């Protein structure tokens, strides 16, 4: 589905930077978006975990599409809002922003804050590396790190985005065995990021922890392999993709409604 510039309502203002634009899917022009509806449905739920569970479940089956964001080191960044297609990070961002917002009017601001350092809609301020995504959203008090006995420290020099230069990350990560042995310490809606074995990348994938009706330990994520947002068994996923270590983040209830 294509995207078009809109000025549907004031909440979709581009925010910082006059050169930034806001884009949403064409479906939004017809009226209430899916996200609007899910925010309204989740609004009465008292915890962010419950709201993430409802909103993320409502987006199951949404197609996986890579590179939905617009902007490069040499072309202007555009603030993109879509609920018709996701990659793994934009899925997490969209669900988290909707759960924080509590009302459609606050969704765009929440998404902008999550996606961009200091909410600045510029390519260099986008949280390109998920390690920095976590650090910046801890600073924003949107999430906190989950720690476990047995975690280890690894150091990485990441160079995937050559325009950003080399970045040096000291990462506190949780081994797979520790994760699986301590799953009872987790909650639906926790964010899990899978550390990349490649030396020049921090993570290769992310999604939500979900516990099923029979307490199954699941990963809810936008899957490139499956082509859509799906639930998968967490232990099986970690074996299938050779996961050694992960990072865990817990979304925080906002101090006030956005």
Return the closest-CA partner of residue 174 out of 134, 146, 198: 146
Residues 15 and 68 in one domain: yes
Can you tell me the distance from the alpha carbon of 55 to that of 35, in angstroms, rounded to the nearest whole number?
Answer: 8
Residues 75 and 197 in one domain: no
What token pair was written down for 23? Answer: 């884009």
pLDDT value of residue 255: 79
Residues 61 and 149 in one domain: no
Structural domains in the chain (count):
2
Residues 116 and 219 in one domain: no
Residues 81 and 113 in one domain: yes
Per-residue confidence band for 195, with pLDDT thresholds at 50, 70 and 90 = very high
Instruction: Supply the range of the domain harboring residue 52.
Output: 3-137
168 found inside a domain = yes
Q: Is a pLDDT exceeding 50 seen at residue 228?
A: yes
16 found inside a domain = yes
Of 94, 110, 137, which residue is a domain's last?
137
- Global pTM value: 0.89
Q: In sequence order, which residues have a C-beta less than 8 Å from that of residue 79 and are 6 or more positions away?
A: 14, 15, 20, 21, 22, 23, 108, 112, 121
CATH at residue 129: 1.10.3670.10
Q: Is a pLDDT exceeding 50 seen at residue 132?
A: yes
What are the pLDDT digits (tens) for 64-100? 999 999 999 999 999 999 999 999 999 999 999 999 9
Q: In sequence order, which residues have a C-beta less than 8 Å from that of residue 181 and are 6 or more positions away?
A: none
Residues 147 and 106 in one domain: no
Residues 110 and 149 in one domain: no
């Amino acid at each position: 589905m294509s995207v078009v510039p809109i000025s549907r309502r004031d909440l979709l203002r581009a925010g910082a930077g006059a050169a930034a634009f806001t884009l949403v899917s064409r479906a939004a022009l017809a009226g209430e978006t899916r996200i609007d509806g899910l925010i309204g449905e989740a609004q009465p739920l008292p915890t962010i975990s419950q709201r993430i569970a409802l909103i993320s479940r409502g987006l199951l089956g949404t197609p996986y599409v890579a590179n939905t964001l617009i902007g490069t080191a040499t072309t202007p960044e555009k603030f993109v809002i879509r609920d018709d297609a996701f990659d793994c990070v934009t899925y997490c961002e969209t669900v988290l922003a909707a759960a924080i917002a509590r009302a459609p009017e606050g969704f765009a601001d929440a998404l902008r804050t999550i996606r961009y350092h200091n909410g600045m809609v510029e390519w260099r301020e986008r949280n390109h590396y998920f390690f920095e995504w976590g650090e910046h959203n801890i600073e924003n008090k949107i999430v906190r790190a989950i720690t476990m006995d047995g975690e280890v420290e690894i150091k990485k020099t990441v160079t995937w985005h050559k325009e950003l230069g080399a970045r040096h990350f000291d990462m506190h990560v949780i081994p797979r065995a520790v994760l699986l042995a301590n799953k009872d310490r987790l909650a639906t809606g926790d964010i899990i990021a899978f550390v990349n074995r490649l030396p020049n990348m921090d993570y290769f994938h992310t999604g939500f922890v979900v516990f099923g009706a029979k307490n199954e330990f699941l990963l809810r994520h936008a899957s490139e392999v499956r082509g859509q947002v799906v639930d998968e068994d967490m232990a099986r996923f970690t074996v299938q993709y050779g996961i050694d270590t992960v990072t865990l983040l817990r979304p925080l209830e906002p101090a006030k409604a956005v």
